[in-house]
């Protein structure tokens, strides 16, 4: 079968897929996250590579059905999981447009309006940070790439020769700092950038699970005395485990005092800037030198969409621009080409979904979304306060709640085993999903409200499942 399908076929197949997606969306408020435990399969597929084609309609029906029937559905209202959301439907349609038009955003000359939309979306996000005028940024594939980009900017800013000559030419050992709760993409980035993972100093936490500014100060002082070259602090606005937000104002002050680059990993929590009411939760974020914000987390975008922003726009080109004679330049454009300010070269338009969602729903839809999720998380905390079996294990700042089984006579290992048994019990039918993790080395249970479809009734069902699991354990 040739690739150039006729119009009637394109329409028939396209409408069919839209019908499937529509059915799936209708099912999400009550959909099980996955199959019951005994029916899940992790074996690899073994189909031979197809030499000849088959009927498209039945293949699309089959694969959609199988993906739905056997899939793990983060968009379900019953997913209290890590940070992947139910995507906005407008975002889904935007992805269809992007795939259909296939714009290439490496250069403005070859994308024009698409690049302008991307730049405008970056400007909107930066304006919500509280910046005006001289800032820039670019879309990424997610928080990992955005954090990598932030560290590359920090390196380029503090050691300008490193881009051409490499770290080994410095003659000093650069070191950077992040809390013990910072996301592990920071370790990955430090390794890939040649700084070395061991150069990442993990600073202990305060009681509120924030990076401790006093210990940071002592560590920097000791490193300077030891001949090392501190250059960057990575603060987290919304840790993956507990949603804690580091004291951004205090860390900005430390960075100013020691001339360090402040990168804020707000991959999840940074999006609270879209709420006028709650943006104070990340107060001080505007003092960052660079910021990661992932629209594919709290802003309910389909994967993938991250953003790296900086108020030192010239550093983007210093870190990423490489001249290439075959790349068409638009002399008349005021926007820098994306390939010159990004780790990517050929690039997909990851911005249209956010641009269109904002155009269709308006920022105030996010104001309500964020407020509602915070209230739901607060109600879960109130339930914990009255629970016979569970207690809160850390302060709730964002819509993430960590808690533990109340069993005072259990040692750490037995408590961790109890938590695993509870998670297994609660997730066993596949209907809902929560997780366990460790904070400061201690086992905790974790739930978060991430789907815009989650309502009080879903929390109540989760609470009933948790209570039943605890009773079974007792
Ligand atoms: C705080 C934080 N930073 C960075 C990342 C990495 O983002 P991504 O998975 O989009 O690459 C995550 C992922 O959950 C995260 O929670």
CA-to-CA distance for 267 and 186, rounded, in angstroms? 12
- Sole residue written with tokens 């970056």: 122
Q: Give the separation between CA 445 and CA 132, rounded to whole angstroms.
A: 41
Ligand 1 mutation pick, 267, 268, 399, max ligand atoms within 8 A of CB: 267
Assess contact for 254 and 213: CB atoms under 8 A. Answer: yes
Confidence band, pLDDT 50/70/90 cuts, at residue 331: low
Ligand 1 atom nearest the C-alpha of 304 is 10
User: Is 452 in contact with 75 (CB distance < 8 Å)?
Assistant: no
Cα 312 from Cα 319, distance rounded (Å): 11
60 CA distance to ligand 1 centroid (A)?
32
pLDDT band at residue 468, thresholds of 50, 70 and 90? very high
Per DSSP, which regions of 272-427 are E strands? 290-293, 306-310, 390-392, 400-405
- Per-residue pLDDT tens over the stretch 169-193: 999 999 999 999 999 999 999 999 9
**The ligand 1 atom nearest the CA atom of 239:** 1
Q: What is the mean pLDDT of the chain?
A: 96
Nearest to 339 by CA among 358, 352, 326: 326
Residue 293's beta-bridge partner residues? Answer: 307
* Buried residues in 378-403 as b, exposed as e (16+ CB within 10 A): ebbeebbeebebbebbbebbbbbbbb
Q: What is the pLDDT of residue 335?
A: 75
Give the confidence band of 328 by pLDDT, cuts at 50, 70, 90. Answer: confident
Retrieve residue 165's tokens. Answer: 């000559």
Pocket test for ligand 1, best of 183, 184, 270 (most atoms within 8 A of CB): 183
Q: How remote is the CA of residue 448 from the centroid of ligand 1, in Å?
A: 15
What dotted CATH number matches 1-87+365-474?
A: 3.90.1150.170
Classify 423 as helix, strand or coil.
helix
Which residue minimizes the CA distance to atom 6 of ligand 1?
A: 143
State how far the Cα of 389 lies from the Cα of 197, in Å rounded to an integer: 40
Q: Where are the beta strands (DSSP E) in 119-171?
A: 136-140
Q: How many CB atoms lie within 10 A of CB 199?
A: 22
Query: Which ligand 1 atom is at minimum distance from the Cα of 238?
Result: 1
| Distance from residue 107's CA to the centre of ligand 1 (Å) | 27
pLDDT tens, position by position, 273-314: 999 999 999 999 999 999 999 999 999 999 999 999 999 999
Let me know: does 436 contact 445? Beta carbons within 8 Å. Answer: yes
Half-sphere exposure of 269 (CA within 13 A, CB side): 31
**CA–centroid distance, residue 243 to ligand 1 (Å):** 12
For the chain, how far is it from start to end, CA to CA, in angstroms? 61
Q: Say how far apart CA 356 and CA 114 lie, in whole Å.
A: 12
Q: Place 332 in a pLDDT band, splitting at 50, 70 and 90.
A: low
Report how far ligand 1's centroid is from the alpha carbon of 365 (Å).
23
Mutate to test the pocket of ligand 1, among 74, 82, 83, 181 (most ligand atoms within 8 A of CB): 83
User: Residue 234 — pLDDT band, cuts 50, 70, 90?
Assistant: very high
Pocket probe for ligand 1: among 84, 139, 141, 142, the residue whose CB has the most ligand atoms within 8 Å is 142
- What average pLDDT score do residues 349-357 get? 98
Q: What is the pLDDT of residues 79-104, one digit of tens each?
A: 999 999 999 999 999 999 999 999 99
Cα 330 from Cα 336, distance rounded (Å): 9
Instruction: Give residue 273's pLDDT.
Output: 98
Nearest Cα residue to atom 4 of ligand 1: 143
Note whether 422 and 473 are within 8 A (CB): yes
CA 240 to ligand 1: nearest atom: 16
pLDDT category of residue 407 using cuts at 50, 70 and 90: confident
- pTM of this prediction? 0.97
Q: What tokens does 243 get?
A: 């949603």
- CATH architecture of the domain covering 103-361: 3-Layer(aba) Sandwich (3.40)
Residue among 425, 443, 447 at smallest CA distance from 435: 447
Find all residues with CB under 8 Å of 23, minimum gap 6, and list them.
none
Buried b (16+ CB within 10 A) or exposed e, 240-277: bbbbbbbbbebbbbbbeebebbbbbbbbbbbbbbbbee
Closest ligand 1 atom to Cα of 306 = 10
Whether the Cβ atoms of residue 303 and residue 75 lie closer than 8 Å to each other? no
Report CA(273)–ligand 1 centroid distance (Å). 17
Domain edges within the chain: 1-87+365-474, 103-361
Q: Which atom of ligand 1 is nearest to the CA of 266?
A: 1
In the chain, what percentage of residues exceed pLDDT 90? 93
266 φ, ψ (degrees, to nearest 5): -105, 35
Residue 27 clears pLDDT 70, i.e. is over it: yes
Pocket of ligand 1 (CB under 6 A): 82-83, 142-144, 147, 183, 185, 236, 238, 240, 265, 267-268, 294, 306
Residue nearest to atom 5 of ligand 1 (CA): 143
Q: Which atom of ligand 1 sits closest to the CA of residue 269?
A: 1
For the CA of 236, the nearest atom of ligand 1: 1
Cα–Cα nearest to 384, from 412, 408, 404: 404
Query: 1-87+365-474 and 103-361 share one CATH topology?
Result: no
Closest CA to 235 of 203, 189, 259, 257: 203
């Amino acid at each position: 079968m040739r690739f150039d399908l006729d119009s009637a076929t394109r329409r028939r197949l396209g409408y069919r897929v839209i019908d499937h997606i529509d059915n799936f969306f209708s099912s999400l408020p009550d959909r099980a996250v996955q199959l019951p435990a005994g029916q899940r399969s992790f074996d690899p597929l073994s189909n031979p590579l197809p030499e000849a084609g088959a009927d498209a309609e039945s293949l699309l029906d089959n694969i959609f059905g199988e993906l739905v029937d056997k899939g793990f559905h983060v968009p379900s209202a019953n997913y209290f999981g890590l940070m992947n959301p139910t995507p906005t439907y407008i975002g889904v349609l935007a992805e269809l447009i992007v795939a259909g038009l296939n714009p290439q955003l490496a250069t403005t000359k070859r994308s024009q309006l698409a690049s302008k939309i991307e730049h405008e979306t970056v400007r909107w996000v930066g304006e919500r940070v509280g910046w005006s005028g001289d800032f820039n940024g670019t879309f990424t594939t997610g928080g990992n790439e955005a954090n990598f980009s932030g560290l590359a900017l920090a390196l380029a800013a503090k050691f300008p020769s490193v881009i051409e000559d490499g770290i080994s030419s410095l003659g000093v050992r650069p070191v950077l700092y992040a809390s013990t709760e910072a996301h592990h993409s920071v370790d990955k980035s430090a390794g890939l950038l040649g700084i070395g993972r061991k150069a990442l100093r993990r600073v202990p936490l305060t009681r509120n699970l924030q990076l401790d500014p006093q210990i940071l100060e002592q560590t920097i002082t000791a490193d300077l005395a030891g001949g090392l070259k501190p250059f960057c602090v990575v603060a987290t606005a919304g840790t993956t485990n507990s949603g804690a937000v580091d004291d951004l104002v205090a860390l900005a002050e430390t960075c100013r005092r020691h001339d360090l680059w402040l990168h804020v990993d707000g991959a999840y929590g940074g999006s609270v800037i879209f709420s006028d009411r709650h943006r104070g939760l990340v107060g001080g974020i505007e003092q960052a030198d660079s910021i990661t914000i992932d629209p594919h987390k709290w802003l309910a975008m389909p994967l993938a969409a991250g953003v790296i922003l900086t108020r030192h726009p010239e550093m983007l080109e210093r870190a990423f621009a490489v001249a290439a004679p075959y790349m068409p330049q638009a002399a008349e454009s005021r926007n820098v080409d994306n390939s010159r300010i990004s780790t990517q070269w050929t690039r997909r338009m990851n911005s249209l979904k956010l641009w269109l969602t904002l155009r269709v729903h308006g920022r105030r839809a996010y104001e309500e979304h964020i407020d509602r999720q915070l209230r739901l998380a607060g109600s879960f905390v109130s339930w914990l306060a009255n629970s016979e079996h569970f207690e809160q294990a850390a302060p709730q700042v964002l819509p993430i709640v960590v808690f533990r089984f109340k069993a005072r006579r259990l040692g750490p290992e037995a408590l961790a085993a109890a938590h695993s048994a509870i998670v297994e019990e609660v997730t066993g039918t596949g209907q809902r999903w929560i997780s366990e993790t460790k904070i400061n080395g201690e086992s905790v249970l974790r739930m978060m409200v991430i789907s815009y479809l989650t309502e009080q009734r879903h929390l109540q069902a989760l609470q009933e499942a948790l209570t039943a699991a605890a009773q079974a354990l007792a």
